[in-house]
Structure formats: structure tokens, C-alpha cells
Structure 1
Amino acid sequence: MATKKKAQQRGSTDLIKEFQDYLLVERGLSENSIFAYSYDIKKFLDYLQKFQKGKAVGVVTSDDIVAFLKQQQEMNISTRSRARELAALRQFFGYLRDEGRVKVNPADKVEPPEIRRTLPDYLTVDEIRSLFTVFDENDPYEIRDRAIFEMMYSSGLRISEACAMKMSDVDLDNLMIAVRGKGGRERLIPFGEQSKQVIDDYLTNSREVILKDRDSEYLFISKKGESLNRKSVWRLLKKYISRTGITKTVTPHTFRHSFATHLIENNADLRSVQELLGHLDIATTQIYTHMAASQLKEVHRKHHPRG
């Protein structure tokens, strides 16, 4: 019996290794993605061993996968994690089907758990204003920091997009920036006169001071004359938030949420906001309509006699 169990475990290990090779060579997935898939598949194979009497992979049914996901739910595994596990199983059995080891993919017929999208935090207009009053206008580094946060808020940039921005991406005369987003997709985004003044201040009174006698193609540069990295920007933001009375959790991405929410609150159409954010799917942008509606409900609750 022990010998049979060891043989099954060895077979599972070999199968996972083959699947890992497929994900790397055929799918070109990252090391982190391969690790996540492998972890979920191993969890399912262990489930078959312990709770399905060592059932062979080749005879697994949709009901087996449903039972596994139900057990995960009973163990308080999050909805998002269970959805990821199902996605991993679809990839795994899809690979086995293509290899001729199973006739059908049993995971295809399993409905994914519904993921409730939570509304992300954003800053109100008053909170944005209060944040932009805490910077020292005589410190070249704080002038730089105000400029990067101003650009992130005024144009809805991801932190990676702001850090990667080059001098050649900024058109101060026409108040436009070129942004390279996810997948290398480029989009043009306008910014306002107020943002131009902040960027001008940075270029005139800060950037050259930080660079000294060095050169850099990047717009926002570090003390070493290199492009700012995301961890540094996050650390700086925490410092400035601590100077305000803002108590909510604020991350660099909060500027992007605030940008989109304020546009929607001021009646910008959804398609335009989608284009400005660089979302491929408008469903991703629609969350900001929910955020705006949530804000309106709060105003009604606070100020209406029957709220």
C-alpha cells in the first residue's frame, strides 16, 4: 500500500514538472505565474489522494472539481483564490487534453465563483488640495515629488508609467504627454495649466539641481540621476500623507482612482475616461461609475431630511 502511494506521489510530481515545462516553453509564462499554477494543481492532486481515494487524473469529472472548490470554500479560501484555482485546473486539463491523456477538459463546464469587486479608495477634491499644500516649495526634492504626484493625479497615470516617463514624452506647449502603458500600448493624455506650472517649476528649479552635471532621458530622476523606482515613490507618498489629516489608506494607485472618479463625478463620458486610463475593456472603467454613485448616496444620506 505504501509503495503504491509513493508511486502515485512520484507520478503527480512528474506530471506537475511536465506541466511546468509546458507553461514555460509553450506559453512563455513568468516564473511567478508558473509557481502559482503549480501550487494550485498540487493542491488539487493532494485532494484527489486524500479525499477521492487516490482517483486518477484521467478519470476526473466536473463534479470532482466542483467538490474540490466547495471544500476550499468551507476552508475559508477566498473567492479570488478559488477562481484562480479553477483557472489553473482549466490550463492543466487543457494541456492533458492536447496531449491525448484525457478526452475532455472537465474544468470547462465548471462555473467560476463570482468575484465581488470592491470599490477602491480615492481622495476627495478637498483631500487632494490638502495634500498638495504640504510640499516645501524651496526643497528641490519636494518640488520633484509634488511634480510626480501632480502628473499622476492630473493624467491618471499608473506609478510604473510615471516612473518610466521620458523628457521627450512631455509636450509642454500643447499640454500633452505620451504614455506607454501595459503591453507597450501608447496613449496621449492632456494635462492642465496648473499641472504645467508644477512641471515648469520642477524643470526650472529642481531637476538640474538633482542631476548636477549628469544627463538622463527620464523626466523624474533620483538622487543618483537615475529614473525613480516604484518603491521610492510609494515611500515618499507615505511621508507626505503623514503630514496631512488624511486617515484612509493611500497608495500611488489612489491618484489614478481619484482622477477617474472626479472625471465621472463631473459628467465625463465613460468612453473618454476609458481611453484616458488605457483600459481595453470598458467594464474595467465602469467601476468608477459605481464609485461616483456611492459618493452621491453618501451625500444624500448626510444632507437629505429623509436620507
Structure 2
Amino acid sequence: MGALDLDDLRELKDDFATELRRRNRSKITIDGYLMRIGYFVDYLIENELPTLAPEVTRDHVGSFIESLLTRPNKRSGKPLSPEYARSNYRALQQFFKYLAAEGIIASDPFDKMTLPDAPENLTAVPPDEALRALLAECAGTDFEALRDTAIIRMFTDTGCRAGELAGLDIPDLDFAENTAMVIGKGRRPRTAPFGDKTRVALRKYLRARAKHPKAKNDETALWLGRQGRMTDHGLRQMLERRTTAAGIDHIHPHQFRHWFAHTWLANGGQEQDLMMLAGWRSRQMLDRYGKSVADERAKAAHRRARLGDKL
């Protein structure tokens, strides 16, 4: 294939990536945008539609989104989720907004388009007994047992995202304050406190880590695997392996975050404090996290209030 036209979406997506880096977006965020733009370009090529930005119309974008809402998943054969279509819509919307701002396109094809509807899928909050079973599965004194126990306790005690935990370095831990300095979305740092059991688990792991073969190659990465620093994908693989061995439903990292939010609120924690701890700027996030068991918290609050008994 020869050189692409400078107005071709395949060329422009790299310019968009440069703009995202200038805005200090994380690599995970940038890669996500580029992947979804790539899906759109593949769709245009497969259907013999134009890939030059000025020639892309609202109909082209609309037909792509419609294809996502009707296309079966290659693995399961089931239809792709509406939320998957929405994530592609949002990525392309930001891309074309950038193209319009740069004067590359005269009009934005997303003008007067609306985000596809999607039913609200509530994330299940893992029951306490499942988390205890998971910790029991990790019991032991070998390196992986100590590491996985520390990871799971950090997930439950801090409510951190997988990427935030994977990015931790040893100097980010402050054992005088029992806190970890994590880098959240938008490259925003925040302090994540943890309790005594997590502290003990971390200290035991760090003593084992000092003897790990990869410790000399990567002196700062907190979590080490066979190849060196563990990625967020490595954390997910560990959880899949451990939950299977524990005989419980698979728990993905974000479910720990939902458990953290639910448990905080159920124990009378203040919403404003939860926003600070979780790194949320919008109160809308309070409604999303732990919403699947919000009725449980409401009933517990009613039992504590004993309103009828006051008469």
C-alpha cells in the first residue's frame, strides 16, 4: 500500500493520538481510542466506503453503530452489548470533534446524533463470604500466595482500579501513614489509605519480593510476576485463576471497587469521603457503584432508624 492521503482517517488517528498525549491522557486511554477508530476504518474499507475524513457522513457513522448493535460476538455468538456500541460511539465522537476543531472537516457527522440507548446493567457486588473464600485460596507462605493475598487485600481495602494497582511502585507505599499514592484517571494522583491487615500482607509480600529473581531487574515495581512487573492484564489473569480454584464465581477487578463503595456506605461512611477515596469528580458515580445492593443498604438503614418504634 502506498502513502496515505493526509486526510485519511488512518493518518489522522495518529495525529489524534499526539493530541491526546499532549492532553496527558494515559496510554490505556489512547490505545482504547485508537482501537475503536481502527474498528470504524475496517468497517468502512470492508463496505467500500470512503476513509477520507471530509467524505465521511452521518449515515456512514450511523450504519457502523447499527452494525455493532446487530453483530454477534465471535466467541459466544451472542449479540454484542449495547454498551460496547456506546463505547465505540463515544470514541469516534471525540475523534471527529477533534477533526472539526482542527478544520479538517467542515461539519461534524455527530451533530444531532444521539448515543445509542442501553439497558442499565448493574454490576454484581461480591458477597463477603466469596471474598473470604478467595483469601483462603491464597493462604500460604510461597511467593505467589503472599503476593496474591496482598493484591486482593489492596483491591478490597482501597477500591483502586486494576490499572492503578498495577502501576504502583514500592516508593508509592507509605507505611508510616498506611497509604499508597496511586495515579488515577486523567493522570490525577490521590492517596489511598489501607488498614492493618493489608499492611501486614504487604510487609510479608515485600520480604518475599526481595528474594524474587526479577527483583534485581525491576527494583521499583511493586507487583512482580514471572516476566517482571505485573500488568493490569496479569492481575485479571491471577483473579481468574484464583476464583476458579476457590470454586466461586469469577470476580473481575471492578467488582472489588463496587464492593468497596457498597461496604463504605453500608457502614455509614460519608459520600463526600467516598468520592475522595475513589477519585471521583462527579456525584453520578455514587449512583453507579454498589447500586445493585442499594436496596439492601436502604433496608438496613430503616432497621437502624426504627421509625415506627418511636411512636
Q: Distance in 2 between matches of 1:101 and 1:212?
A: 50
Aligned-partner SS, 2:268: coil
Other-structure match for 1:25 = 15
Gap change, CA 1:244 and 1:188, over 3 Å in 2: same
Other-structure match for 1:227 = 229
Q: Percent identity?
A: 21
Query: Are positions 1:88 and 2:89 aligned together?
Result: no
Other-structure match for 1:242 = 244
| Conserved? CA contact 2:156–2:259, under 8 Å | yes
| Conserved? CA contact 2:16–2:95, under 8 Å | no
Task: Please give the per-residue CA displacement for 1:115-168, whole angstroms capped at 9, x wherever unaligned.
Answer: 333122332122212221223433233112211211121111222222222222
Number of residue pairs matched by the alignment: 278
Aligned-partner SS, 2:237: helix
Aligned-partner SS, 2:137: coil
Under a length normalisation based on structure 1, what TM-score does the superposition of the two structures give?
A: 0.71
Unmatched tracts of structure 2, length 5 or more: 21-29, 72-78, 301-311
| Conserved? CA contact 1:156–1:255, under 8 Å | yes
Other-structure match for 2:210 = 208
Gap change, CA 1:240 and 1:99, over 3 Å in 2: closer
From 154, 157, 177, the counterpart of 1:151: 154
State the superposition RMSD in angstroms.
4.0
Gap change, CA 1:289 and 1:240, over 3 Å in 2: closer
Other-structure match for 2:304 = none
Q: Distance in 1 between matches of 2:166 and 2:90?
A: 35
Aligned-partner SS, 2:192: strand
Aligned-partner SS, 1:284: helix
Return the offset for 1:18. Answer: 2.3
Other-structure match for 2:281 = 280
| Conserved? CA contact 1:97–1:105, under 8 Å | no
| Conserved? CA contact 1:178–1:188, under 8 Å | yes
Q: Distance in 2 between matches of 1:228 and 1:281?
A: 30
Other-structure match for 2:259 = 258
Rg larger in structure: 1
Alignment of 1:70-219 (within 5 A): 78-83=81-86, 84-85=88-89, 88=92, 91-92=95-96, 95=99, 99=103, 102=106, 104-204=107-207, 206-210=208-212, 214=216, 216-219=219-222
Gap change, CA 1:174 and 1:119, over 3 Å in 2: same
Q: Distance in 2 between matches of 1:67 and 1:135?
A: 48
Task: Please give the per-residue CA displacement for 1:25-77, whole angstroms capped at 9, x wherever unaligned.
Answer: 2552656634532543674698797xxxx9xx989986887688668756766
Q: Distance in 2 between matches of 1:159 and 1:94?
A: 29
Aligned-partner SS, 2:108: coil
| Conserved? CA contact 1:93–1:106, under 8 Å | no
Unmatched tracts of structure 1, length 5 or more: 1-13, 300-307
Under a length normalisation based on structure 2, what TM-score does the superposition of the two structures give?
A: 0.70
Aligned-partner SS, 1:286: helix
Other-structure match for 1:9 = none
One-letter code aligned to 2:143: P
Return the offset for 1:287. Answer: 0.7
**Which is worse superposed, 286-295 or 36-45?**
36-45
